[in-house]
Structure 1
Amino acid sequence: MTASLPIIHVGNPTLRHQAAVVEDIHAPAFQQLIDDLIATAMQANGVGIAAPQVAQSYRLFIVASRPNPRYPNAPEMKPTAMINPKIVAHSKEVVKGWEGCLSVPGMRGLVPRYQAIAVEYTNRHGQLQQQELTDFVARIFQHEFDHLNGVLFIDRIENPSDMITEQEYQKIVSQTT
């Protein structure tokens, strides 16, 4: 049975550790974790979630872009489990965009990220995948990838004035939609 898991918040030491490489992708408990992460992201209106955010220190995250109250302009895609992911190449172009995090509730930050990335990961069936990601989905991947290395979006903000509350962010979004 799929369950929504409790999300840990900034201050919990698990969020600041390097996550472990996944060895047994096919283990029933690991497959259940994938399903539970997808359910957790959906229930929390996230567009992605990493295993460390539910206190499971594995190199696993879900990218699940879709429009929702937190990201009304997000593109639609099927939730995808990305196991032992890598960024193998990236664009020279870096763009700033607003990010939030389920582990840093109530805050948003303007974060610089590569506009385009080439990635590799293993899917939940054990198959190596290679993809090129751009724009918002590339941002999600980089944000979740940071979680696997103990980095939060607040660590990447270049200027303290680039941090705002969720309420102020929603005002900005409502003016642009």
Structure 2
Amino acid sequence: MCVPSSKKWSAVAIRPVLKMGDPRLWQQARTVDFFATPELHALIADMQETMLHLDGAGLAAPQIGVGLRVVIFGFEDNPRYPEAGSVPYTILINPELTPLSDEIEEAWEGCLSVPGLRGSVPRWRHLRYTGFDPCGQPIERSVDGFHARVVQHECDHLDGILYPMRIRDFRLFGFADALSPDAENLPED
């Protein structure tokens, strides 16, 4: 029987988030082979606690030094992305992304591993993602807009990619408090 990841674990911890420059962030994450294990549920509980503590929109296991293909994302309201609509809370293991159109859009992103900086990043506007929940049950969703952006951002971490590596114009990358007021207020979608 699979224990839901929302269960409060007695050893839940806020983990330190690795920052850009740490070589562990450049590594390819390994596929999760076993679901519904106490270790997997403990990892997910720690990721949840860490993401909530830092007001993150998402978090990938490699960001806390665990080289597994596990991401979490979602929120109702997020102070870091006040213009974004809600994204359903999702635990996604061994994700696969498939673009549903050639449409690319540029929008502002930040990252818990690149604190204080923001950049304009191109992403697919529409995509389908598949993977598994913590119990090994399949997940499949077709999404667009900010939801699509968040899942792409988090899944990039699984392949050793941080968002600055995708920026096309470095005039649109910098410290959030130093970017022009017009740039900071561009819509997310």
Alignment partner, residue 89 of structure 1: 99
Alignment partner, residue 44 of structure 2: 34
- Is this contact kept in 2: 1:67–1:73, CA < 8 A? no
**Of the candidates 110, 119, 124, which is equivalent to residue 129 of structure 2?**
119
CA RMSD of superposed structures (Å) = 1.8
Indicate the SS of the match to 2:75: coil
1:60 matches 2:60: no
Which structure's residues are more often helix, by fraction?
1
Q: CA deviation at 1:55?
A: 0.3
Indicate the SS of the match to 2:115: strand
Deviates more, 1:139-148 or 1:25-34: 25-34
Q: TM-score normalised to the size of structure 2? A: 0.87
Structure 2 counterpart of 1:13, which letter? Answer: P
Identity %: 35
**Of the candidates 100, 118, 123, which is equivalent to residue 108 of structure 1?**
118
Q: CA deviation at 1:65?
A: 3.1
Relative distance call for 1:167 and 1:21 in structure 2 (3 A) is same
Alignment partner, residue 35 of structure 2: 25
Deviates more, 1:60-69 or 1:142-151: 60-69
Query: How far, CA to CA, are the matches of 2:52 and 2:101 in structure 1?
Result: 30
Q: CA deviation at 1:73?
A: 2.0
Structure 2 counterpart of 1:159, which letter? Answer: D
Deviations 1:45-75 (A, max 9, x none): 1100000000001000001233222111222
Alignment partner, residue 138 of structure 2: 128
Runs of 4+ displaced beyond 6 Å = none
Alignment partner, residue 4 of structure 2: none
- Is this contact kept in 1: 2:87–2:147, CA < 8 A? no
Ranges in structure 1 where 5+ consecutive residues have no aligned partner: none
Ranges in structure 2 where 5+ consecutive residues have no aligned partner: 1-9
Q: CA deviation at 1:26?
A: 1.3
Deviates more, 1:125-134 or 1:159-168: 159-168
Structure 2 counterpart of 1:147, which letter? Answer: H
- Is this contact kept in 2: 1:66–1:74, CA < 8 A? no
Query: How far, CA to CA, are the matches of 2:186 and 2:119 in structure 1?
Result: 18
Deviates more, 1:12-21 or 1:63-72: 63-72
- Is this contact kept in 2: 1:106–1:166, CA < 8 A? yes
Count of residues in correspondence between the two structures = 176
Indicate the SS of the match to 2:35: coil
